[in-house]
Every structure is written in structure tokens, then in C-alpha cells.
Amino acid sequence: MNMADHKAKKNNWQKIGEGKSFRIAVFVISLLLLYLLWINRDDLKDVESWGFLGIFVINFISNATIILPAPGTASVFVGGAIWNPLAVGLLSGIGAAFGELFAYFLGFGGRGVLRFVEKGGKWVKTLEGFFHRAGFITTFVYALIPLPFFDVLGIIAGAVNYPVWKFFLAVLLGRIIRNVIIALSGAKFLTD
């Protein structure tokens, strides 16, 4: 494959990602998955007995529920006292990072709405510029700190088309470090 073919292929993928129907589909699928998690929340209560898999699933779901409170941090704290705190922090951080992709894709799917609401595009351009300059470190720091509305950052990152792999990596690193600290704290305070 020559360079021109590679660029044409890349441009085709960019066109798919920028298409209105693709954004609508991503937005609708994200909302549908959130709805399914919400209506099945009672069935998920037994997940704590699953051990490490339960820690992963709880944190995935906790971070996939946009803006709604969920027990992810508590499961990490208690799990750190029951199991290896480093493994709990690692697995819960991975689950949390995958869960945060829901907010990102919700923003990505709804970015046309953002541009429509803000007709002049000034705020959108400001947010895009900010994310492309300091998005990784900002996302990492926000993922590291237990903030209740981290989902808003994910929605904005998706809306301004910040690269998903950079968003995921920053969240992954921040959540793993944060959750290892929380799990070690649980091991210290609940076992002494």
C-alpha cells in the first residue's frame, strides 16, 4: 500500500467518524447501554461475590453511569482489605477507564449538538484548542482526583474530537494510581 492509498483509507475512516449518522448511532447506543445498566441495576448486586471480576465490573458500571452515583470507590476501599490491594487497584482502574468511554462516546455522538447550540463556534474552538494543548495532563489529573462530575470532562473530550486513545490512556493511568491508593488505604484502615 503506497502513501496515497494509506491517506485515502485514513480519510475514509475520518469521514465515517465525522458523519452525522455515525454520531447519532454512537449517541443512541451509549444512551441505550446506560438505560440497560440502569434497569438491570438490581440484578448486578451479587457482583460483589465475584471477587476480582466483581471489582472490575462494579468499577466499569460505576464509571459508565453518566453523572449518577455508583459504589465504585467504596468497592475499591473494601476490596483492598479483602484481596491484594495492588490487584484491586489495577483491575478497578482498568474497569473504570473502560466505563469512562461511555461519557466520551456520548460527547462524540452529540458534538453536532454542541456546535448547534453554540452557533458562533467560539467556545467549541476554545475547548478544542485547550484539549489539544493540555487534554492529556488535564484528563490524567482529573482522573486521579475523586471528582463527582468527571463524566462532564469525558463528554467534552468526545465533543471536541479529542483522540479517544489519548483520553483512554490518561484515564487509565489516573484511575489505576487513584484506585491503588484507595485500595491500600482500605487495606490499612480496615485490617489494622
Q: Which tens digit of pLDDT belongs to each residue from 75-104?
A: 888 888 888 999 999 999 999 999 999 889
Cβ pair 64, 37 in contact under 8 A: yes
Helix (H), strand (E) counts: the chain: 9, 0
| Mean pLDDT over the full length of the chain | 78
- Taking phi over 0 as left and psi of -120 to 50 as alpha, with beta for the rest, 121 belongs to left
- Taking phi over 0 as left and psi of -120 to 50 as alpha, with beta for the rest, 65 belongs to beta
- pLDDT above 60: residue 6: no
- pTM for this one? 0.74
From residue 64, alpha-carbon distances to 33, 117, 127 in Å are: 9, 25, 23
d(CA 163, CA 20): 18
* Structural domain for 112, as ranges: 3-191
From residue 171, alpha-carbon distances to 8, 37, 89 in Å are: 31, 21, 13
How many domains, in total, are found in the chain?
A: 1
Per-residue confidence at 168, pLDDT binned at 50, 70, 90? very high
Amino acid at 89: G
